[in-house]
Amino acid sequence: MSTASNRTAFVTGGSRGIGAAIVKRLAADGSDVAFTYASDKKSADQLVEEIQKSGKKAFAIQADSVSAEAVAAAVEQAVTHFGRLDILVNNAGIAIWGNASEMPLEDFDKMVNINVRAPFVAIKAASKHLKSGGRIVNIGSINANRMPFERGGVYSMTKAAIQGMTRGFARDFGPLGITINNIQPGPVNTDMNAETGDFAEYLKTFIAVGRYGKGEEIAAMVSYLTGPDSGYVNGSSLDIDGGFGS
């Protein structure tokens, strides 16, 4: 039996990278999937077509996670389109590097809005529709625990906030039969964080397995956390980082 058969999922930032891998995996597990994209309509349309060819339904929604109103509206669009919501995956996020003396306040605000406020807004909107057996998965970062290079303090802070949000909301949702968990990837090969180049080679020195992760590996963890065997996993932050900094 597929892990998420006949359910509906909503994924933020799902048109490429880790998000696209999550969308594909949830569809392969049996879910119809709605997902947001900020601006890359071509990639979003291609992903919808790919999912539909596999026999499941997909729905792409243009919504920039910097806007709380757009995020909340996107959740409602997904529910209207599919008629229900069983899985929420907060994947959208950004990283802007800078130390405390140089980072413009608008960059700080943008990171907080996308990496912290948007997941909260999505959770708040989804909470009206999720029922017992529902699943919420946040995509955080191993940098919440370990930041081994300079200029990453604000990014690290936003991902640590996701840890706290996950732990706290587990108390709120647990009695309702809904779980919420946080996945903390290490470096993952995407078009925005390629596994080649000087910075990548530097990061690999911190990774015990000596390589970047794959989006499909993160998606596999999402599959488990949204499936029937994970009902006793709640409020957890699960590292999937190849031994980053071990």
- C-alpha 237/C-alpha 181 separation (Å) is 6
Element (H, E) at 240: strand 237-240
State the catalytic residue, choosing from 155, 202, 212, 232: 155
155 classed as catalytic: yes
- The per-residue pLDDT for range 54-102, each reduced to its tens digit, is 999 999 999 999 999 999 999 999 999 999 999 999 999 999 999 999 9
The answer to whether residues 134 and 86 touch, using CB atoms and an 8 Å cutoff, is: yes
Give the pLDDT band (50/70/90) at residue 4: low
- The per-residue pLDDT for range 113-160, each reduced to its tens digit, is 999 999 999 999 999 999 999 999 999 999 999 999 999 999 999 999
6 has a pLDDT exceeding 90: no
Q: Domain 8-237 classified CATH 3.40.50.720? A: yes
The answer to whether residues 180 and 231 touch, using CB atoms and an 8 Å cutoff, is: no
How is the chain split into domains, by residue range? 8-237
